Amino acid sequence: MSFEEKEMAENIKRISGVNPRKCMKCGKCSGTCPAYEEMDYHPHEFVAMVEKGRIDELLASKSIWTCLSCFACVERCPRSVEPAKLIEAVRLEVIRAQGANHLKAVQIPELLDEKLPQQAIVSAFRKYSK
Amino acid sequence: MQRIGVFVCWCGTNIAATVDVKAVAEAARKEPGVVFATDYQYMCSEAGQKLIRDAIAEHKLTGVVICSCSPRMHEATFRKTVEAAGLNPYMLEVANIREQCSWIHKDRTEATEKAVVLARTAIAKVSLNVPLTAGESPVTKRALVIGGGIAGIQSALDIADAGYEVDIVEKQPTIGGKMTQIDKTFPTLDCAACILTPKMVDAAQHEKITIYSYSEVTEVTGFVGAFKARIKRKARFVDETKCTGCGECTSKCPSKKNKNEFNLGLDNRTAIYIPFAQAVPKVAVIDAESCIKKKTGKCGLCQKICGAGAIDYEQKDEYIEREYGAIVVATGYNPIDLAKYDEYAYSQSPDVVTSLELERLMNAAGPTKGTLLRPSDGTHPHTIVFIQCVGSRCDDARGKPYCSKICCMYTAKHAMLIREKYPDTEVHVFYIDVRTPGKNFDEFYRRAVEQYGVDYIKGMVGKVVPHDGKLLVQGSDLIANEQVRIEADMVVLAAAIEPDKSARSIATMLTASIDTNDFFTEAHPKLRPVESPTAGVFLSGVCQGPKDIPETVAQASACAAKVIGLLAKDKLKGNPCVAHVNEEMCNGCSTCEKVCPYGAITYQDKEFRVPGPKRTEIRRVASVNEAVCQGCGACTVACMSGAMDIKGFANKQIFAEVDAICR
Amino acid sequence: MQIKIDENGNFKPTIVAFCCNWCSYAGADLAGTSRLSYPANVKIVRVPCSCRVNPLFILRAFQRGADGVILCGCHPGDCHYTTGNYYTRRRMTLLFNMLDYLGIERDRTRVEWVSAAEGAKMARVMNEFVARICELGENKRLEDLRCKKSLEE
Amino acid sequence: MTFSYYPGCTLKTKAKDLDRYARSAAAALGVEMAELPEWQCCGAVYPQAKDEIATKLSAVRALMAARDEGRELLTLCSACHHVIKRVNHDMVSDENIRTKVNNYLKPEVPYTGETKVIHYLEMLRDTVGFDELAKRVTRPLKGRRIAAYYGCMLLRPGNVMGFDDPENPRIMEDFIRAIGAEPVVIAYRNECCGGYMTLENRALAQKKATTVVDAAASAGADTIVTACPLCQYNLDVNAVGERVPVLYFTELLAEALGVKEAEA
Amino acid sequence: MQEIFGRIKKRAAELFADGTVTRMVGWQKGESDYDKTPAVFGPDMKGFVYDGFCGANLSKYLINLSKVEGRTLVLLKPCDSYSFNQLLTEHRIDRDKVYAIGIDCNGKLDINKIRALGVKGIRSVAEEGDEVVLDTVYGSKRVKRSEVLLDRCYCCKGKDHVAGDEFILAEKRVDTTTTDRFELVKKLEAMTPDERYEFWRGELSRCIRCNACRNVCPACSCVKCVFDNPALGTDSKANSDTFEENMFHIIRAFHVAGRCTDCGECSRVCPQHIPLHLLNRKFIRDIDELYGEYQAGAEVGQRGPLTDFAKNDAEPGATPDKGGKK
**What would the pLDDT profile of C68-91 be if each residue is shown by its tens digit?**
999 999 998 888 888 899 999 999
pLDDT of residue E1: 66
- For residues E296 and B641, what is the distance between their CA atoms, to the nearest angstrom? 19
Question: DSSP secondary structure string, A1-56?
Answer: --HHHHHHHHHHHHHH---GGG-----HHHHH-TTGGG-SS-HHHHHHHHHHT-HH
pLDDT of residue E202: 86
Note whether B177 and B278 are within 8 A (CB): no
Confidence of residue B65 (pLDDT cuts 50, 70, 90): very high
The answer to whether residues D81 and D188 belong to one domain is no
**What would the pLDDT profile of D123-150 be if each residue is shown by its tens digit?**
999 999 999 999 999 999 999 999 999 9
Contacts of B342 in chain A (CB under 8 A): none
The answer to whether residues D113 and D137 belong to one domain is no
**Partner-chain contact B394 A79, CB within 8 Å:** yes
- The H helix count followed by the E strand count for chain D is 12, 8
State the DSSP H helix or E strand holding residue C32, giving kind and residue range, or none if neither: helix C24-33
> Is residue D126 domain-resident?
no
Contacts of B343 in chain D (CB under 8 A): 167
What is the number of other CB atoms lying within 10 angstroms of the CB of residue B559? 30
Contacts of B101 in chain C (CB under 8 A): 32, 40
The answer to whether residues D156 and D106 belong to one domain is no
Domain membership of residue D35 as a residue range: 2-120
Confidence of residue C152 (pLDDT cuts 50, 70, 90): very low
The answer to whether residues D218 and D153 belong to one domain is yes
> Is residue C7 domain-resident?
no
pLDDT of residue E139: 87
Note whether C114 and C23 are within 8 A (CB): yes
User: Hey, what domains does chain B have and what are their CATH numbers?
Assistant: 4-127 (3.40.50), 142-234+317-332+500-567 (3.50.50.60), 248-305 (no CATH), 334-498 (3.50.50.60), 579-647 (3.30.70.20)
pLDDT of residue C6: 77
Which residue, B331, B649, B320, B335, is CA-closest to B512? B331
- For residues B392 and B372, what is the distance between their CA atoms, to the nearest angstrom? 26
Min Cα distance E156 → chain B (Å) is 27
Regarding an ipTM greater than 0.85, the answer is: no
pLDDT of residue B286: 97
Task: Please name the chains neighbouring C, where neighbouring means 3+ C-beta pairs under 8 angstroms.
Answer: B, E
Q: What are the backbone angles phi and psi of residue B490, rounded to the nearest 5°?
A: -140, 150
Given a cut of 60, whether residue A119 has pLDDT beyond it is yes
**Partner-chain contact B515 C47, CB within 8 Å:** no
**Partner-chain contact B633 C35, CB within 8 Å:** no
pLDDT of residue C153: 37
| Residues 6 or more apart whose Cβ sits within 8 Å of residue E85 | E162, E163, E297, E298, E299, E300
Q: Which CATH number covers residue D156?
A: 3.40.50.1860
pLDDT of residue E40: 95
Q: Percentage helix, strand, coil, to 5, in chain D?
A: 50, 10, 40
Exposure string of C32-47, with b = 16+ CB inside 10 Å and e = fewer, is: bbeebbbbbbbbbbbb
Which residues between 100 and 129 in chain B have a beta carbon less than 8 angstroms from any beta carbon of chain E? Answer: none
DSSP-derived letter for residue E307 is G
Q: Where are the beta strands (DSSP E) in E65-162?
A: 72-76, 98-103, 122-128, 131-136, 139-144
Given a cut of 80, whether residue B58 has pLDDT beyond it is yes
Which residue, C148, C142, C7, is CA-closest to C68? C142
How large a percentage of chain B has pLDDT more than 90? 90
pLDDT of residue C35: 95
Given a cut of 80, whether residue B50 has pLDDT beyond it is yes
Which residues between 436 and 475 in chain B have a beta carbon less than 8 angstroms from any beta carbon of chain C? Answer: none
* Choice between B514 and E319, residue whose per-residue pLDDT is larger: B514
B340 shares contact with chain A (CB less than 8 Å): no
Q: How big is the CA angle at E194 (ends E192 and E200), to the nearest 5 degrees?
A: 105
- For residues B608 and B611, what is the distance between their CA atoms, to the nearest angstrom? 10
**Partner-chain contact E91 B591, CB within 8 Å:** no
Q: What is the largest CA-CA distance in chain A?
A: 48
Q: What is the mean pLDDT of residues B164-179?
A: 97
Q: What is the mean pLDDT of residues C95-123?
A: 92
Nearest neighbour of C86 by CB, restricted to E197, E234, E313: E313
Q: What is the mean pLDDT of residues B431-456?
A: 97
Note whether B538 and B224 are within 8 A (CB): no
pLDDT of residue B617: 85
Q: What is the mean pLDDT of residues B324-346?
A: 96
**Partner-chain contact B468 D185, CB within 8 Å:** no
Task: Report how many domains make up chain C.
Answer: 1
pLDDT of residue D218: 94
Q: Which CATH number covers residue D12?
A: 1.20.1050.140
Note whether B167 and B153 are within 8 A (CB): no
The answer to whether residues D88 and D179 belong to one domain is no
Given a cut of 60, whether residue D199 has pLDDT beyond it is yes
Burial of E74 (0-12, 13-18, 19+ CB in 10 A): buried
Confidence of residue C147 (pLDDT cuts 50, 70, 90): very low
> Is residue D23 domain-resident?
yes
- For residues B145 and B148, what is the distance between their CA atoms, to the nearest angstrom? 7
Predicted TM-score (pTM) of this structure: 0.76
> Is residue D102 domain-resident?
yes
DSSP strand pairing (E98-103 vs E72-76) = parallel
DSSP-derived letter for residue B98 is I
pLDDT of residue E319: 45
> Is residue C142 domain-resident?
yes
State the DSSP H helix or E strand holding residue B166, giving kind and residue range, or none if neither: strand B165-169
Q: Which residue of B has its CA nearest to C41?
A: B114
Q: What are the backbone angles phi and psi of residue B13, rounded to the nearest 5°?
A: -100, -5
Given a cut of 50, whether residue C151 has pLDDT beyond it is no
Confidence of residue C150 (pLDDT cuts 50, 70, 90): very low
pLDDT of residue E237: 56
Given a cut of 50, whether residue B346 has pLDDT beyond it is yes
Question: Can you give the C-alpha Rg of chain C in angstroms?
Answer: 16
Q: What is the mean pLDDT of residues B271-297?
A: 95
Q: Which residue of E has its CA nearest to B650?
A: E232
**Partner-chain contact B475 A24, CB within 8 Å:** no
* Averaged pLDDT score across all residues of chain A: 92
Q: What is the mean pLDDT of residues B643-657?
A: 94
Given a cut of 60, whether residue C21 has pLDDT beyond it is yes
Q: Which residue of C has its CA nearest to B639?
A: C54
Given a cut of 70, whether residue A20 has pLDDT beyond it is yes
Min Cα distance B574 → chain E (Å) is 26
The answer to whether residues D160 and D76 belong to one domain is no
According to CATH, the topology of domain A3-97 is Fumarate Reductase Iron-sulfur Protein; Chain B, domain 2 (1.10.1060)
The answer to whether residues D149 and D258 belong to one domain is yes
- C-alpha dihedral (B514, B519, B525, B531), degrees to nearest 10: 70
Helices (H), B254-390: 292-296, 301-305, 355-362
Per-residue pLDDT of chain E (326 residues; tens, 9 = 90+): 688 999 999 999 999 999 999 999 999 998 888 889 999 999 999 999 999 999 999 999 999 998 888 999 999 999 999 999 999 999 999 999 999 999 999 899 999 899 898 888 888 888 888 899 999 888 899 999 999 999 899 988 888 899 999 999 988 878 888 889 999 999 999 999 899 988 998 888 888 888 899 999 999 999 888 888 776 766 665 445 556 667 788 899 999 999 999 999 999 999 989 999 999 999 999 999 999 999 999 999 999 999 999 988 999 874 444 333 33
> Is residue C9 domain-resident?
no
Q: What is the mean pLDDT of residues D69-84?
A: 95
pLDDT of residue E326: 32
- For residues E195 and B347, what is the distance between their CA atoms, to the nearest angstrom? 61
What is the number of other CB atoms lying within 10 angstroms of the CB of residue E114? 19
Q: Where are the beta strands (DSSP E) in chain E?
A: 23-29, 36-41, 48-49, 72-76, 98-103, 122-128, 131-136, 139-144, 166-168
Q: What is the mean pLDDT of residues B613-641?
A: 89
Domain membership of residue C50 as a residue range: 15-152
Per-domain residue ranges of chain A: 3-97, 102-130
Given a cut of 80, whether residue D264 has pLDDT beyond it is no
Lowest mean pLDDT among A107-116, B484-493, C138-147, D58-67: C138-147
Question: Can you give the C-alpha Rg of chain D in angstroms?
Answer: 18
> Is residue C112 domain-resident?
yes
pLDDT of residue E245: 67
DSSP β-bridge partners for residue E289? none
Given a cut of 50, whether residue C149 has pLDDT beyond it is no
| Residues 6 or more apart whose Cβ sits within 8 Å of residue D125 | D171, D174, D175
The answer to whether residues D164 and D212 belong to one domain is yes
Q: What is the mean pLDDT of residues B258-279?
A: 95
What is the number of other CB atoms lying within 10 angstroms of the CB of residue E150? 22
User: How far does chain A reach from its first CA to its final CA, in angstroms?
Assistant: 27
- For residues D10 and D43, what is the distance between their CA atoms, to the nearest angstrom? 11
Task: Report how many domains make up chain D.
Answer: 2
Reading phi first (left if > 0) and then psi (alpha if -120 to 50, else beta), residue E298 is in alpha
Exposure string of D191-202, with b = 16+ CB inside 10 Å and e = fewer, is: bbbbbbbbbbbe
The answer to whether residues D110 and D212 belong to one domain is no
> Is residue C120 domain-resident?
yes
**Partner-chain contact B468 D219, CB within 8 Å:** yes
Note whether B374 and B381 are within 8 A (CB): yes
- For residues E248 and E226, what is the distance between their CA atoms, to the nearest angstrom? 10
Note whether E82 and E296 are within 8 A (CB): yes
pLDDT of residue E235: 67
**Partner-chain contact A30 B462, CB within 8 Å:** yes
| Residues 6 or more apart whose Cβ sits within 8 Å of residue B70 | B94, B96, B98, B99, B100, C25, C29, C32
Min Cα distance D248 → chain A (Å) is 14
Which residues between 444 and 473 in chain B have a beta carbon less than 8 angstroms from any beta carbon of chain A? Answer: 458-463
The size of chain B, in residues, is 663
Pairs across A and D, CB distance < 8 A: 125
Q: What is the mean pLDDT of residues C143-149?
A: 51
**What would the pLDDT profile of C123-134 be if each residue is shown by its tens digit?**
999 999 999 999
Helices (H), D94-161: 95-105, 120-122, 130-136, 158-161
**What would the pLDDT profile of B541-571 be if each residue is shown by its tens digit?**
999 999 999 999 999 999 999 999 999 999 9
The answer to whether residues D150 and D255 belong to one domain is yes
Lowest mean pLDDT among A49-63, B385-399, B523-537, E287-301: B523-537
- For residues E304 and E294, what is the distance between their CA atoms, to the nearest angstrom? 8
Q: What is the mean pLDDT of residues B162-185?
A: 97
Confidence of residue C2 (pLDDT cuts 50, 70, 90): low
pLDDT of residue B637: 95
Confidence of residue B508 (pLDDT cuts 50, 70, 90): confident
Confidence of residue C5 (pLDDT cuts 50, 70, 90): confident
Report how far apart, in Å, the C-alpha atoms of D168 and of each of B91, B338, B343, B576, D191 are. Answer: 65, 12, 8, 59, 11
> Is residue D68 domain-resident?
yes
The answer to whether residues D138 and D253 belong to one domain is yes
Q: What is the mean pLDDT of residues B472-481?
A: 97
Q: Which CATH number covers residue C122?
A: 3.40.50
pLDDT of residue E321: 45
pLDDT of residue B386: 98
**What would the pLDDT profile of B203-239 be if each residue is shown by its tens digit?**
999 999 999 999 999 999 888 899 999 999 999 999 9
